[in-house]
């Protein structure tokens, strides 16, 4: 249960023509795409162990007005898959983001992070508060572990049939052993995407590909990166440290997300300058499920304002 989690032609044209690698230390190279024009936004995908394609197609509206940098985190996608899993801690991911900022020549960064991604963004902002312009958290894990996995797992599980739960468990094991890991990935997400969406929402709303990474990266990400990175968090609680982060933070969270709203709301109370946009009839992919609400809200925020529906409490 720890595997948390329009412009398609424009996406393909820009990303295929703007692929780069950044050397970030430890023998690791980060793959990233740099596309669009305007103020820069660095996108931090979820997982851990997934890649930028898990968000890319659904973020096409963002490229209409912004320069969007989308990178594959170490241990996933087209970035380095370290032979030593000790190089997959949250601190390594934070250091990678700083190295990427320096490589891009950006004085300050605006971050958009999804699902697990806000963990990296928050730890980065705690360590480098002077480098952060503003942040957007889409469907974030909470800032304190508490009983997150128990509550999240229970909510997700009850949305599946017994047969689906059994098959999903089998497929998780198949990531280690299958000769066709891409097929296993696609079957796994065919089961596990619907319960992450609002009730009666078609999976077709999610245009991004959760299984586009090279097969060896899918296998490595699910079996190595995910447990190693989550394990490095320990019994996390960042609420006190978040007081250091003065940058504005917009949290966008669906009321039907299996990540409990009450836990996510703790970001707002912990961060000095944060507001939350709570979306009804929305699950874990608000950018795909409610684009007509989410992207105008993002544009308002990136323009220096707050969406009128975003609240402090």
What's the predicted TM-score (pTM) here? 0.94
pLDDT at residue 10 above 50? no
Does position 2 have pLDDT exceeding 90, yes or no? no
- Please compute the mean of the pLDDT values over residues 122-136 and round it to a whole number: 98
Residue 34, classed as helix, strand or coil, is strand
pLDDT for the residue numbered 16: 42
Homologous superfamily (CATH) for 8-302: Alpha/Beta hydrolase fold, catalytic domain (3.40.50.1820)
pLDDT value for 313:
80
Compute the average pLDDT of residues 215-232.
98
Q: Is 86 exposed, middle or buried (0-12, 13-18, 19+ CB in 10 A)?
A: exposed
pLDDT digits (tens, 9 = 90+) for 238-267: 999 999 999 999 999 999 999 999 999 999
State residue 151 phi and psi, 5-degree precision. Answer: -70, -40
Give the whole-number percent of the chain exceeding pLDDT 90: 94
> HSE on the CB side for 260, CA within 13 Å?
16
pLDDT at 19: 84
- Please choose, from the candidates 59, 63, 131, the residue with its C-alpha nearest in 3D space to the C-alpha of residue 99: 131
Sign of CA dihedral 224, 225, 227, 233: positive
Radius of gyration for the chain, computed over Cα atoms and rounded to the nearest angstrom:
18
Q: Which helix (H) or strand (E) holds 104?
A: helix 90-104
What pLDDT shows up at residue 15?
Answer: 41
The tens digit of pLDDT for each residue in 268-283 reads: 999 999 999 999 999 9
pLDDT on residue 222 = 97
Domain ranges of the chain: 8-302
Per-chain mean pLDDT for the chain: 94
Give the residues across from 29 on adjacent strands.
Answer: 23
Q: Is 275 exposed, middle or buried (0-12, 13-18, 19+ CB in 10 A)?
A: buried
């Amino acid at each position: 249960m720890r595997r948390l989690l329009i412009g398609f032609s424009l996406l393909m044209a820009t990303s295929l023509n703007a692929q780069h690698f950044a050397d970030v230390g430890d023998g690791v190279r980060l793959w990233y795409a740099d596309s669009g024009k305007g103020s820069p936004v660095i996108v931090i995908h979820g997982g851990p162990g997934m890649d930028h394609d898990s968000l890319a197609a659904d973020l096409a509206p963002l490229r209409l007005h912004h320069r969007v940098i989308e990178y594959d985190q170490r241990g996933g996608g087209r970035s380095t898959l370290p032979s030593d899993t000790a190089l997959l801690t949250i601190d390594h991911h934070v250091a990678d983001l700083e190295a990427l900022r320096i490589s891009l020549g950006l004085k300050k960064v605006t971050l958009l992070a999804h699902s697990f991604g806000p963990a990296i963004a928050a730890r980065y902002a705690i360590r480098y508060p002077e480098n952060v312009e503003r942040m957007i958290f889409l469907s974030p894990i909470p800032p304190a572990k508490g009983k997150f996995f128990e509550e999240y797992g229970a909510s997700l599980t009850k949305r599946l049939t017994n047969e689906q739960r059994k098959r999903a468990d089998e497929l998780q094991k198949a990531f280690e052993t299958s000769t066709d890991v891409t097929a296993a990935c696609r079957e796994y997400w065919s089961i596990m995407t619907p319960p992450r969406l609002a009730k009666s929402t078609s999976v077709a709303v999610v245009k991004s590909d959760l299984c586009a990474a090279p097969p060896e990266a899918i296998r490595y990400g699910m079996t190595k990166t995910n447990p190693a990175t989550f394990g490095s968090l320990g019994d996390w609680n960042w609420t006190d440290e978040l007081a250091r982060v003065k940058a504005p933070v917009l949290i966008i969270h669906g009321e039907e997300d299996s990540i409990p709203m009450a836990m996510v709301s703790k970001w707002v109370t912990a961060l000095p300058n944060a507001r939350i946009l709570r979306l009804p009839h929305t699950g874990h992919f608000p950018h795909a499920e409610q684009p007509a609400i989410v992207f105008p809200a993002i544009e308002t925020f990136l323009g220096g304002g707050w969406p009128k529906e975003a609240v402090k409490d």
